[in-house]
Chains A and B, each alone.
Chain A
Amino acid sequence: MTALTVRSSRNQRLDWLQKFVFSLTFLATVVVCVPVAVVSVYVISHGASAISWEFLFSGPARAGREGGFFPVIVLTMYALLLVMLFAVPVGVLCSIYLAEYAQPGRLLRLINLTIINLAGVPSIVYGLFGAALFFDVIHTKQALWVASATLAMQALAIIITSSREALLSITPGIREGSLALGVSKLRTTFFIALPEAFPGIITGSLLAVSRAAGETAPILIVGAIAATNVPLSPAAIVNDRPQMLSYELYYRITEGLGLADERKWGLALVLLGIVLVLNVSALLLRIKIQSRGFEKRN
Chain B
Amino acid sequence: MRETTTPEHTALEDGAQPSVVSVGGLPYQPPHAAETAPTVLRLENVCVTYGGRPAVQNVAMDIYKNRITALIGPSGCGKSSLLRCMNRMNDLIHSARVTGNVYLDGVDINSDAVDPVQVRRHVGMVFQKPNPFPMSVMENVAFGPKRQGMSGRGRLNEIVEKALRSAALWDEVADKMDQPGTALSGGQQQRLCIARVLAVRPEIILMDEPCSSLDPVATLKIEDLMRELARDYTIVIVTHNMQQAARVSDYTAFMLASEHGVNGRLIEYGATNEIFTNPRDKRTEDYITGRFG
Contact = CB atoms under 8 A, between A and B. Distances in A.
A pairs with B: yes
Contact of A181 (B135, B178, B179, B197): B197
A181 B196 contact: yes
Given A294-B179, A297-B178, A298-B178, A181 B136 contact: no
Interface residues of B, number: 36
Majority-rule SS of A interface residues: loop
Contacts of B92: 176, 179
Interface of B: 87, 89, 92, 94, 117-122, 124-127, 129, 131-136, 138-139, 143-144, 147-148, 177-180, 193, 196-197, 200, 202
A169 to B, nearest CB: 13
Contact of A104 (B94, B134, B144): B94
B143 A176 contact: no
B124 A181 contact: yes
Given A181-B196, A294-B136, 16 more contacts: A171-B131, A174-B133, A176-B127, A177-B127, A177-B196, A179-B89, A179-B117, A180-B89, A180-B124, A181-B144, A181-B197, A182-B119, A191-B147, A192-B133, A294-B180, A297-B136
A190 to B, nearest CB: 10
A183 interface: yes
B144 A182 contact: yes
A288 interface: no
Contacts of A185: 117
Contacts of B148: 182
A178 B136 contact: no
B133 A180 contact: no
Contacts of A180: 87, 89, 120, 124-127, 197
A103 interface: yes
A187 interface: yes
A180 B126 CA distance: 8
Nearest to B200: A181
A174 B89 contact: no
Interface in A181-225: 181-185, 187, 191-192, 195-196
B242 to A, nearest CB: 26
Nearest to B121: A182
Contacts of B136: 293-294, 297
A184 to B, nearest CB: 5
16 contacts: A172-B131, A173-B127, A173-B129, A177-B133, A178-B143, A180-B120, A181-B121, A182-B120, A182-B121, A182-B124, A191-B143, A293-B136, A293-B139, A294-B180, A297-B177, A297-B178
